[in-house]
Amino acid sequence: MNIIVCVKQVIDPEAPPASFKIDAATNKAEMKGAAPVIDPYGEYAVEAALKLKEARGGKITILTLGVNLLREVVKKPLAMGADELILLEDEIFTSGDNGSIANALALAIKKKGEYDLILCGREASDTNAGQTGPAIAELLGIPCIILARKIEPIDDKIKVERVNSLGYDVIESPLPAVVTVSNEVGQPRYPTIKGIMAAKKIEPIIWKAGDIGYETGISNKTKLQKLFQPVHEAKCEFAAGETPEEMAVNLALKLREAKIV
Amino acid sequence: MSEYKGVAVYCEAKNDKILPIAAEGLGIGRKLAESLGQELAAVIIGDKALAQQAIAAGADKAYVIEDAQLKEYQPDAYISALEKAIKQIQPQIVILGQTDSGRELVTRLAYRLNTAATLDCVDLAIDTGTKRLLQTKPVYGGNAQAVIITETDPQIVTIRTKAFAALTPDASRKGEVVSIPAGLDSSIIKAKIVNRVVEEVAGIKLEDARVVVAGGRGIGSADGFKQLDEMAKLLKGAVGASRPACDNNWISDTAQVGLTGKIIAPEVYIAVAISGSSQHMSGCSGAKTIVAVNKDKEANIFRHARYGVVGDWKKVLPAFVQKLKEL
């Protein structure tokens, strides 16, 4: 089975909220003092691909779009066990909106050809949109399943367990298909020393806009007007008391008085 | 773009009732339609009887797509049905709920209509100058919010649960009901739902609970969560957890509140030994009142909480529960 996994490099979402800063002039965000990481949601997609490869064999190609891509970051999926890395590293790509980025990924997937399954994270930790997977499916005209917790190949089809708020749906789909992977798929494995050594030897393939026939701006439909940090005024009323027990009693009185509990 | 007019809300229904989030969609839809001086339409897949509910909740007109093939939810069929309805209605704005199906349908629907979608909006307003829809959504795990404008019509969004107010239903409201034939060809269903598995949850569901008692890393053990469970039972609520608590298997993953878990908006959220990371807060910031118990006075959770106790939860909780029982 040939699997393409779309993963991106993001600012570290686990860094403390206090280090999060927005540059108002460029509408860009950063985590001061924290190195970028592979998107944690994307790592679940890599894990799902590795599970499939273990069960059925095949080849895993990682597709990463961005600029200033740190090799030790974007090579992590290789160290986890993926076979090949394609970098769409061109500022033209990142100047577009979500739709333009999905378009670039779809063009790269077409150029790569030979794919049975395309995996993405359920969303990315920066945009929290969850649109890239479904958008690629529409652009390629193939089925799409979101929020997978289990993917099982059966003959030339796949059976997917799709998480929902009550439990899960069992979905069958022909291939090729796009599947977005949810965290219930299981913790992504840590790269082994052997994996890290192997990843060092793999040279990423780099494609620029011209290599995939990408035209600037044609897919742009949205505009980011503003990026801002919501202000949380600290208006917490602390329960008074000499001991934790006293404070607890005062909290109970206060909540009851305000008819909160 | 001038041929697109009005606001349309896809009203999801369950057990012969439109969902609360559909009524919330109609609530904000009404506001937007009024500021544009245009009509509000409801789009319903299913029974005509639902049309009056949507009209009572604020719609001027209800479009109903009735088709035997749409009895069971199949995303591929629903996308086609909605595509057809929206092409006929030609609204400027389309609102769906950020539900299991809404998040599944919306991006692909937008592509079919040659436009774009913005998911999980917490604020929507019409720009007074351009008359375009200002779509505000949380990004960076709740660390920031983005205001996005869609330059093509229709402008499609999903809304977050409980982010917008529904109108008080008015059964005397009148509106036109229009039937739309689905005209579906069953071959459009490619990825097919073959089974739906409901995982039973004991007690009150997290999403429906009025009171949620949630524990974090500081709880330290599965036994600790038993104490939270007792307190939740006393308050007729449900137990939630932050990601570290779930990762440590102190409680089931289904209890996880946050960007990687459930997004809830209870009346009261009691956060016990939770530091309040952005990723967690984006799951519970919709709560009406947040009460926090934490040892660390500087914990981020106190920036969101209305009431707080700085202290060890192991000492605070028993005394708190005891006092509540006495009151």
Do the bridges between strand B211-215 and strand B238-241 make them parallel or antiparallel, or are there none, so unpaired? parallel
Residues A193, A255 within the same domain: no
Residue A66 lies in a domain: yes
CB B97 within 8 Å of CB B21: yes
Rg of the Cα atoms in chain B: 22
Residues A145, A56 within the same domain: yes
pLDDT grade for B2, boundaries at 50, 70 and 90: low
Residues in chain A with CB shorter than 8 Å from the CB of B103 are 130, 146
Residue A226 lies in a domain: no
Q: Å from B173 to nearest chain A CA?
A: 33
The pLDDT value given to residue B14: 93
The pLDDT value given to residue B165: 95
CB B161 within 8 Å of CB B97: yes
Query: What is the average pLDDT value for chain B, to the nearest integer?
Result: 94
Q: Can you read off the two tokens belonging to residue A143?
A: 């089925």
The pLDDT value given to residue B148: 98
Residue A217 lies in a domain: no
Residues A159, A247 within the same domain: no
Residues A33, A111 within the same domain: yes
Q: Is the pLDDT of residue B1 over 70?
A: no
- Which residues 105-134 in chain A show a CB within 8 A of chain B? 125-131, 134
Contacts made by residues A151-157, CB under 8 angstroms, sequence distance 24+:
A151/A48, A151/A51, A151/A52, A151/A117, A151/A179, A151/A181, A153/A1, A153/A52, A153/A55, A153/A56
Q: Can you read off the two tokens belonging to residue B21?
A: 């989030």
Residues A14, A136 within the same domain: yes
- Mean pLDDT computed over B205-219: 94
Residues A170, B194: C-beta atoms closer than 8 Å:
yes
Q: Which CATH number does the domain housing residue A93 bear?
A: 3.40.50.620
- Count the neighbouring beta carbons within 10 Å of the beta carbon of residue B37: 8
Give the three-state DSSP class for A260.
Answer: coil
What is the distance in angstroms between the CA of the first residue and the CA of the last residue of chain A? Answer: 55
Point out the least confidently predicted range of A23-27, B149-153, B288-292: A23-27
> What's the number of domains chain A is made of?
2
Helix, strand, coil in percent for chain B, rounding step 5:
35, 30, 40
Q: Can you read off the two tokens belonging to residue B31?
A: 């506001």
Q: Is the pLDDT of residue A217 over 80?
A: no
The pLDDT value given to residue B142: 83
Give the three-state DSSP class for A160.
Answer: strand
Residue A124 lies in a domain: yes
User: Tell me, what amino acid is at B50?
Assistant: L
pLDDT grade for B234, boundaries at 50, 70 and 90: very high
Residues A56, A25 within the same domain: yes
The string of pLDDT tens digits covering residues B57-88 is 999 999 999 998 899 999 999 999 999 999 99
* CA–CA dist B158, B310 (Å, integer): 38
Residues A20, B112: C-beta atoms closer than 8 Å:
no
pLDDT grade for A183, boundaries at 50, 70 and 90: confident
The pLDDT value given to residue A130: 95
The string of pLDDT tens digits covering residues A101-145 is 999 999 999 999 999 999 999 999 899 999 999 999 999 999 999
CB B293 within 8 Å of CB B272: yes
Q: How far is CA A98 from CA A166, B252, B283, in A?
A: 30, 34, 23
Percentage of chain B lying above the pLDDT 70 cut: 99
Instruction: Give all domains of chain B, ordered by start, each with its CATH number.
Output: 7-188 (3.40.50.620), 211-326 (3.40.50.1220)
The pLDDT value given to residue B106: 98
Q: Can you read off the two tokens belonging to residue B115?
A: 């436009």
Nearest C-alpha neighbor of A143 from the set A171, A124, A123: A171
The pLDDT value given to residue B238: 96
Residues 6+ apart with CB under 8 A from B72: B193
pLDDT grade for B161, boundaries at 50, 70 and 90: confident
Percentage of chain A lying above the pLDDT 70 cut: 99
Query: Hey, which residues does B45 pair with through a beta bridge?
Result: B65
The string of pLDDT tens digits covering residues B170-200 is 999 999 999 999 888 889 999 999 999 988 7
- Mean pLDDT computed over A210-238: 88
Report the residue of chain B nearest A255, measured CA to CA: B307
Pick the more confident residue, B282 or A75: A75
What is the distance in angstroms between the CA of the first residue and the CA of the last residue of chain B? Answer: 61
Residue A200 lies in a domain: yes
Residue A143 lies in a domain: yes
ipTM for the complex shown: 0.92
Residues A64, A152 within the same domain: yes
Residues A171, A244 within the same domain: no
The string of pLDDT tens digits covering residues B12-59 is 999 999 999 999 999 999 999 999 999 999 999 999 999 999 999 999
Q: Can you read off the two tokens belonging to residue A168?
A: 């899960």
The pLDDT value given to residue A154: 92
Residues A32, A140 within the same domain: yes
Residues 6+ apart with CB under 8 A from A25: none
Residues A173, A70 within the same domain: yes
- Which residues 184-203 in chain A show a CB within 8 A of chain B? 184, 187
* H-helix segments, B37-74: 50-56
* CA–CA dist B130, A43 (Å, integer): 41
Residues A39, A68 within the same domain: yes
Residue A224 lies in a domain: no
- Which residues 56-115 in chain B show a CB within 8 A of chain A? 76, 99-100, 103-104, 107-108, 111-112, 115
Residues A199, A250 within the same domain: no
Percentage of chain A lying above the pLDDT 90 cut: 84
CB B212 within 8 Å of CB B270: yes
* CA–CA dist B20, B26 (Å, integer): 10
Residue A219 lies in a domain: no
Residues B199, A164: C-beta atoms closer than 8 Å:
no
List the domain range (segments joined by +) for residue A171.
Answer: 2-212
pLDDT grade for A16, boundaries at 50, 70 and 90: confident
Q: How far is CA B88 from CA A57, B38, B41, B324, in A?
A: 47, 16, 12, 57
Residues A238, B323: C-beta atoms closer than 8 Å:
no
Give the three-state DSSP class for A44.
Answer: helix
Residues B327, A252: C-beta atoms closer than 8 Å:
yes
